[in-house]
């Protein structure tokens, strides 16, 4: 694993003050990452759709100061100072300071907001950390104007991964693979790469309606969940299965096989939750309405000859995936039937997006 490539050798420019704003998306895994070793190395490769509408916008103002041993920053979320978010970001800066030593020379003022409601149960760590990573890379590019776009994306993904594994998949789009896999050219355990093969047109602009089933704080964090995979009786088989599923998914995406896509995506979602059910201590993140929605989706698919399917992340919300061509039938089904199972009837229409945007 060549991490030395991410340690800057020379910084050519002297910059006193700089400010950068990035919009970076959330993502939804089709083949899931669950289980890791240090430092944030995935036990299996995963692939996700990058989202378009669910994103974080972050501005970092950098102003030069005396060099200190740890990063100095203030943090505002939706305009208010957020002390409770600071330890996670401080830990992130500590992890990346070897690769971004210049952050110790600046005072950073971070201002962040999400496009989705706070505590909607939509994980904000992927979009949040990828946005900070892009701001750091904008500063690095100013200090060293010779960096290529390719390197900037690669290193931003590498940095984001050190904050939250799935954040490594939130720099580019529409499909990103993270984790070394023999059939995915260029794939790596230390950064995400764009899916390198031509994808069938049926998956272009694929829709993802996120049904907000439970907006409460998760009872078990994903950090705890990943750790429980260490002593999990099914762990080795699961990691092997996920890598095999990524081979299958690669073929499905290229060939446009919707039926095989549905089968694999739903199986991955249920397997992720099966790992939680069979951990020790065991836990359940699905809610009764998660299951109600799944059954309604199956019924709709059978009776309407639809290609609708669901996936789940580490929570109770349901991501409803469907081709753009089915919007006219699926959207009314979401509004008239599935919305009843959501908290305050809330859902978010999203679709596949292209990754980080500089504002
Ligand atoms: O990035 P983390 O540590 O929050 O883990 C996320 C894991 C899942 O969302 C459940 C699956 C995935 O691959 O995104």
User: What is the helix (H) or strand (E) element at residue 240, kind and residue range?
Assistant: helix 235-255
Pocket of ligand 1 (CB under 6 A): 29, 32-34, 46, 123, 125, 164-166, 222, 226, 272, 313-314
Q: What is the Å distance from ligand 1's center to 214 Cα?
A: 18
Q: What is the Å distance from ligand 1's center to 125 Cα?
A: 9
Q: What is the Å distance from ligand 1's center to 17 Cα?
A: 35
Helix axes 125-143, 86-96, angle to 10 degrees: 40
What is the structure's pLDDT at 119?
67
> CB neighbours of 250 closer than 8 A, spacing ≥ 6?
47, 183, 184, 195, 197
Closest ligand 1 atom, residue 32 Cα: 13
Buried b (16+ CB within 10 A) or exposed e, 282-311: eeebbbebbeebbebbeebbeeeebbbbbb
Q: What is the Å distance from ligand 1's center to 297 Cα?
A: 24
Q: What is the Å distance from ligand 1's center to 308 Cα?
A: 23
Answer for the pair 273, 317: CB distance below 8 angstroms, yes or no: no
What is the structure's pLDDT at 12?
79
pLDDT tens for the chain, 359 residues: list them: 799 999 998 877 889 999 999 999 999 999 999 999 999 999 999 999 999 999 999 999 999 999 999 999 999 999 999 999 999 999 999 999 999 999 999 999 999 999 987 767 777 899 999 999 999 999 999 999 999 999 999 999 999 999 999 999 999 999 999 999 999 999 999 999 999 999 999 999 999 999 999 877 677 889 999 999 999 999 999 999 999 999 999 999 999 999 999 999 999 999 999 999 999 999 999 999 999 999 999 999 999 999 999 999 999 999 999 999 999 999 999 999 999 999 999 999 999 999 999 99
Closest ligand 1 atom, residue 36 Cα: 3
Ligand 1 binding pocket mutation candidate from 41, 159, 165, 179 (most atoms within 8 A of CB): 165
> CB neighbours of 189 closer than 8 A, spacing ≥ 6?
1, 41, 42, 178, 179, 180
Q: Characterise 237 by phi-psi region: left (phi > 0), alpha (psi -120 to 50), beta (else).
A: alpha
Closest ligand 1 atom, residue 125 Cα: 4
Token pair 């990346």: residue:
96
User: What's the predicted TM-score (pTM) here?
Assistant: 0.97
């Amino acid at each position: 694993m060549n991490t030395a490539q991410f340690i800057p050798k020379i910084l050519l420019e002297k910059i006193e003050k700089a400010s950068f704003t990035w919009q970076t998306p959330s993502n939804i895994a089709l083949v899931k990452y669950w289980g890791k070793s240090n430092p944030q190395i995935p036990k299996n490769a995963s692939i996700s759709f990058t989202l378009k509408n669910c994103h974080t916008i972050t501005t970092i103002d950098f102003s030069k100061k005396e060099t200190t041993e740890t990063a100095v920053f203030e943090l505002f979320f939706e305009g208010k100072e957020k002390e409770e978010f600071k330890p996670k970001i401080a830990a992130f800066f500590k992890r990346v300071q070897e690769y971004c030593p210049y952050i110790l020379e600046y005072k950073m003022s971070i201002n962040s907001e999400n496009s989705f409601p706070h505590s909607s149960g939509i994980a904000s760590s992927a979009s949040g950390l990828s946005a900070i990573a892009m701001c750091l890379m904008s500063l690095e590019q100013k200090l060293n104007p010779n960096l290529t776009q390719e390197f900037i994306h690669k290193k931003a993904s590498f940095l984001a991964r050190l904050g939250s594994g799935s954040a490594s998949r939130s720099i580019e789009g529409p499909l990103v693979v993270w984790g070394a896999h023999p059939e995915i050219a260029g794939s790596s355990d230390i950064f995400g790469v764009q899916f390198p093969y031509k994808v069938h047109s049926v998956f272009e602009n694929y829709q993802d309606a996120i049904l907000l089933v439970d907006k409460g704080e998760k009872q078990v964090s994903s950090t705890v969940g990943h750790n429980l995979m260490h002593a999990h009786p099914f762990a080795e088989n699961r990691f092997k299965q996920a890598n095999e599923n990524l081979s299958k998914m690669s073929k499905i995406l290229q060939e446009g096989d919707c039926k095989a896509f549905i089968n694999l995506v739903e199986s991955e979602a249920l397997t992720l939750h099966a790992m939680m059910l069979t951990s020790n201590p065991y836990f359940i993140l699905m809610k009764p309405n998660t299951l109600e929605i799944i059954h309604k989706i199956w019924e709709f698919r059978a009776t309407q000859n639809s290609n609708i399917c669901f996936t789940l992340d580490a929570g109770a919300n349901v991501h409803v995936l469907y081709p753009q061509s089915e919007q006219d039938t699926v959207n009314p089904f979401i509004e008239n039937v599935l919305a009843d199972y959501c908290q305050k009837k809330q859902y978010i229409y999203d679709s596949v997006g292209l990754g980080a945007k500089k504002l």
